[in-house]
């Protein structure tokens, strides 16, 4: 679920940028080297590459089924990536930022992370044996002493501090920026960037020294450059690079990676976007606790767009978010099925919209606020507030997206949808006499205003729920070429301008926009501990 959450955030930002007219490259994939992968493959009795291929294909399948529209899917076992890593290593070595030395200290295999004494604590394993664990992850650590290559990380502390202080939006949200700054208040020890080959065979050999394997995180981080075309063709893309990562790998991205790039003479990424974790009843998802949420299963249960909407609507980047099925059902029923879906159904129902068209707007029925007093004027004060809200919606949506507050952007949309439903309910078009010319003009105007609202909502929701937005816009007969940011002009006829959609025949009715979800046994507020309960 955490890996999917990272991908959904990145996908949403990618689609948003495309909708704004940018050319965007979006990469994701799998980091496949390291000791824990080697051990997992051995435990499964499989060749490491075959093992990685099986796991990578599962993630790829999850992403494809979740409408993750990546342009590049990278595996760090690929030949192009190996060449990029070897070149990057050679640049660091030739500049004397890598030297051979001896490392002695704590190492966490699950985290593939070197730790100082202050980063570990005493604990006991399940058998009561005294062990040391990482304070950050809780994983067991082991003492390691071996000759390997070291990176002169200690030299980059002043430059890293300067970079962060001069670029307060380099790491976002602010909470994680402050954490990165706090780390730099202490001295940075040099970093071991290789392992002895006899201990770690599954990885890229150090160029010129086949007895050593490149540290998995140095290898993995270079994947961003590989996708951009490093070492020869990356300049077109790299200055605009932005990373989306979970908070558990913040140090690798906000400390180690910028230092590596500085040493190699490569510009730093524009920004590092960091998100928190999803928990279940306040507890971290864990196989041992039996509370792991399967995203593939949930996307089948709640639909792909439903799960995407929930993650983006409820996810707050700087705070851990709690997952339970009942919350998903309540949110999706309320905002997608009842509010948005209900509004579309009302506007396009043959009982009200007999001709199945995008009807005309009558300025006499809905005059500009400063010329009210028309004998045919039917608009109420609340209706003008609706027009005001939807007119500024795209600007508010943009502001929240640029601040990485997607949940706030969706809240503004949801608020406007509720306002539009109130507008429809207030004027009850089903009660109007279609045979009375004056009432018919008001009926058409009500439908026109509501459909214009829906068109704006559908356009803005494309990065979040792409399939649902497509169904909505297609039903309104809005062709793909008119679904961009520049098409968000709202209620042109109210402004005295032409509306390109007025009079169009509606698209085919494909059924309910989003079906209501039934609460099942699985949709408990708190997960059952017993594995027998489904």
Two structure tokens written together for 271: 């920004």
Q: Which residues of 97-131 are buried (b: 16+ CB within 10 A; e: fewer)?
A: bbeeeebebbbbbebbbbbeeebbeeeeeeeeeee
Distance CA 489, CA 482 (A): 11
Q: Per-residue pLDDT tens for 166-187?
A: 999 999 999 999 999 999 999 9
- The pLDDT of 1-20, averaged and rounded, is 95
Residue 458 pLDDT > 70: yes
pLDDT for the residue 135: 84
Residue 115 pLDDT > 60: yes
Two structure tokens written together for 291: 């509370």
Lowest mean pLDDT of 100-114, 246-260, 502-516, name the range. 100-114
Residue 239 pLDDT > 90: no
Q: Per-residue pLDDT tens for 62-71?
A: 999 999 999 9
Higher pLDDT, 372 or 340: 340
Query: Residues 6 or more apart from 50 whose CB is under 8 A from it?
Result: none
Label residue 326 exposed, middle or buried (CB < 10 Å: 0-12, 13-18, 19+).
middle
CA separation (Å) from 272 to 15, 174, 238? 18, 11, 13
Lowest mean pLDDT of 7-16, 143-152, 264-273, name the range. 143-152
pLDDT for the residue 374: 61
Higher pLDDT, 371 or 428: 428
Cα–Cα–Cα angle for 340, 343, 347, rounded to 5 degrees: 145
pLDDT for the residue 519: 79
Lowest mean pLDDT of 293-307, 340-354, 507-521, name the range. 507-521
Q: Per-residue pLDDT tens for 21-42?
A: 999 999 999 999 988 898 999 9
Distance CA 252, CA 259 (A): 10
Query: In the predicted model, what is the mean pLDDT of the chain?
Result: 91
The closest of 429, 451, 456, 450 to 440, measured between CA atoms, is 429
Q: Is the peptide bond before 231 cis (omega within 30 degrees of 0)?
A: yes
Distance CA 329, CA 461 (A): 19
Give 124's pLDDT tier (boundaries 50, 70, 90).
confident
Phi first, then psi, for residue 358 (nearest 5°) are: -90, 95
Residues in the chain: 534
pLDDT for the residue 521: 55
pLDDT for the residue 533: 35
**Are 366 and 377 in contact, with CB atoms under 8 Å apart?**
yes
Two structure tokens written together for 308: 């995407």
Distance CA 44, CA 48 (A): 9
Phi first, then psi, for residue 481 (nearest 5°) are: -70, -10
Q: Would you give the distance in Å from CA 55 to the centre of its chain?
A: 21
Give 373's pLDDT tier (boundaries 50, 70, 90).
low
pLDDT for the residue 528: 44
Query: Residues 6 or more apart from 448 whose CB is under 8 A from it?
Result: 358, 359, 360, 361, 493, 499, 502
pLDDT for the residue 531: 40
pLDDT for the residue 245: 96
pLDDT for the residue 529: 43
> Cα(first)–Cα(last) distance of the chain, in Å?
19
Distance CA 37, CA 161 (A): 34
Question: Which residue is listed with tokens 């507050």?
Answer: 405
pLDDT for the residue 527: 43
Complete edge-to-edge strand list for the sheet that includes strand 271-275? 171-172, 271-275, 242-246
pLDDT for the residue 534: 33
Beta bridge partners of 242: 271
Residue 56 pLDDT > 50: yes
Residue 204 pLDDT > 70: yes
């Amino acid at each position: 679920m955490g890996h999917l959450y990272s991908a959904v955030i990145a996908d949403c930002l990618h689609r948003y940028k495309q909708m704004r007219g940018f050319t965007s490259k979006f990469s994701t994939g799998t980091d496949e080297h390291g000791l824990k992968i080697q051990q997992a493959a051995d435990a499964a009795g499989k060749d490491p590459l075959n093992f990685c291929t099986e796991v990578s294909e599962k993630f790829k399948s999850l992403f494809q089924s979740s409408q993750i529209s990546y342009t590049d899917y990278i595996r760090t076992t690929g030949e192009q990536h190996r060449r990029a890593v070897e070149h990057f290593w050679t640049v660091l070595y030739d500049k004397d930022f890598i030297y051979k030395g001896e490392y002695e200290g704590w190492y966490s295999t699950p985290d593939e992370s070197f730790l100082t004494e202050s980063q570990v604590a005493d604990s006991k394993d399940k058998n009561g044996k005294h062990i040391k664990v990482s304070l950050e992850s809780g994983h067991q650590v082991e003492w390691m002493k071996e000759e390997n290559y070291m990176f002169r990380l200690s030299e980059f502390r002043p430059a890293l501090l300067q970079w962060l202080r001069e670029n307060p939006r380099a790491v976002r949200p602010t909470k994680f920026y402050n954490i990165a700054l706090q780390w730099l208040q202490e001295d940075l020890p040099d970093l071991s960037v290789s392992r002895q080959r006899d201990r770690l065979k599954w990885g890229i050999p150090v160029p010129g020294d086949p007895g050593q394997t490149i540290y998995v995180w140095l290898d993995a981080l270079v994947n961003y450059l590989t996708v951009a075309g490093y070492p020869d063709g990356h300049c077109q893309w790299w200055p605009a690079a932005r990373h989306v990562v979970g908070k558990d790998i913040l140090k690798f991205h906000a400390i180690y990676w910028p230092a590596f790039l500085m040493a190699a003479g490569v510009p730093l990424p524009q920004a590092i976007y960091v998100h928190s974790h999803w928990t279940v009843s306040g507890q971290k998802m864990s196989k041992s606790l039996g509370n792991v949420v399967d995203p593939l299963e949930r996307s089948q249960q709640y639909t792909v767009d439903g799960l995407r909407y929930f993650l983006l609507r409820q996810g707050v980047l700087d705070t851990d978010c709690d997952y339970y099925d009942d919350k998903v059902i309540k949110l999706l029923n309320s905002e997608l099925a009842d509010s948005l879906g209900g509004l579309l159904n009302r506007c396009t129902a043959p009982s009200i919209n007999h001709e199945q068209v995008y009807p005309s707007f009558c300025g006499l029925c809905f005059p500009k606020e400063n010329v009210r007093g028309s004998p045919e004027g039917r608009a109420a004060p609340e209706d003008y507030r609706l027009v005001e809200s939807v007119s500024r919606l795209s600007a508010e949506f943009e502001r929240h997206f640029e601040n990485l507050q997607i949940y706030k952007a969706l809240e503004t949309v949801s608020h406007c949808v509720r306002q539009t439903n109130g507008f429809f309910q207030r004027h009850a078009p089903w009660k109007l006499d279609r045979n009375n010319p004056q009432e018919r003009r008001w009926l058409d105007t009500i439908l026109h205003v509501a459909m214009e609202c829906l068109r704006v909502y559908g356009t803005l929701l494309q990065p979040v729920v792409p399939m649902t937005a497509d169904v909505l816009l297609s039903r309104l007969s809005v062709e793909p070429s008119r679904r961009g940011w520049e098409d968000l002009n709202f209620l042109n006829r109210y402004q005295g301008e032409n509306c390109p959609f007025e009079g169009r025949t509606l698209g085919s009715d494909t059924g309910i926009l989003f079906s209501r979800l039934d609460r099942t046994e699985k949709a408990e507020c708190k997960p059952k501990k017993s594995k027998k309960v489904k």
